[in-house]
Structure 1
Amino acid sequence: MVNRVVTVVLLALLALIHSQLWLVHGSMDYVGELQQQIQDQNAANAVEKAENDRLESEVNDLKDGLATVEEKARSELGMVKSNEIFIQISKH
């Protein structure tokens, strides 16, 4: 009789632990979802890091010399130096 009660209690505890492994907040499915979210976030972080590196390089170029400033002024603002003539050729 005692053996049977112990067996039933142990089986109930095993079922409880097993159900928690598959069904609750710390379940294997939940852990898999968290791992996927981590991978997605790492990919997004890599993209943002590349953009930050590019911007940091551009800032350093702007700090170091006037060549980058001049290039940006010419390309983005259409500026020219004094005594320069701007000629634009368009192809159809």
Structure 2
Amino acid sequence: MRWISLVLLTLLCLLQYRLWFGKHSIPDYWQMKHEVELQREQNANLTQRNSLLKADIEDLKIGLEAIEERARNELGLIKDGETFYRILPSQ
């Protein structure tokens, strides 16, 4: 009877060791859970960025105003008859 109790206690200790310190243990689970949460946040940010890019593409396909705005802001283009003023901050 005493040997059976000793064997069962040993098995319990081995299982507990594996649960807390072995491969696929509880700390590994917590770490993977954290990594999954970080990946979900990154995916949400990328999904938002993709939707903004899709909206930008649709604006460029539909109207000329978006194209003109981009040309003005990114390329510094002006229309005929307009005067471009650049105000520099004082240093």
Q: TM-score, normalised by structure 1?
A: 0.83
Tell me if 1:54 matches 2:55.
no
8 A contact 2:78–2:84 mirrored in 1? no
Whole-angstrom distance in 2 between the partners of 1:89 and 1:26: 62
Letter of the 1:71 partner, please give it: E
Whole-angstrom distance in 1 between the partners of 2:51 and 2:20: 42
Tell me if 1:86 matches 2:87.
no
Letter of the 1:56 partner, please give it: K
Q: TM-score, normalised by structure 2?
A: 0.84
Ranges in structure 1 where 5+ consecutive residues have no aligned partner? none
Corresponding residue for residue 37 of structure 2: 39
Aligned pair count reads 89
Identity %: 31
Whole-angstrom distance in 2 between the partners of 1:31 and 1:49: 27
1:19 to 17, 20, 26: 17
Q: Shift of the alpha carbon at 1:89?
A: 4.8
Coordinate RMSD, CA, aligned:
1.6
Which 4+ residue blocks in structure 1 deviate beyond 3 angstroms? none
Describe the superposition over 1:4-59 as per-residue Cα deviations: whole angstroms up to 9, x where unpaired.
Answer: 12111111111111111101121111111111111111122222222111111111
Corresponding residue for residue 74 of structure 1: 72
Ranges in structure 2 where 5+ consecutive residues have no aligned partner? none
Whole-angstrom distance in 1 between the partners of 2:33 and 2:27: 10
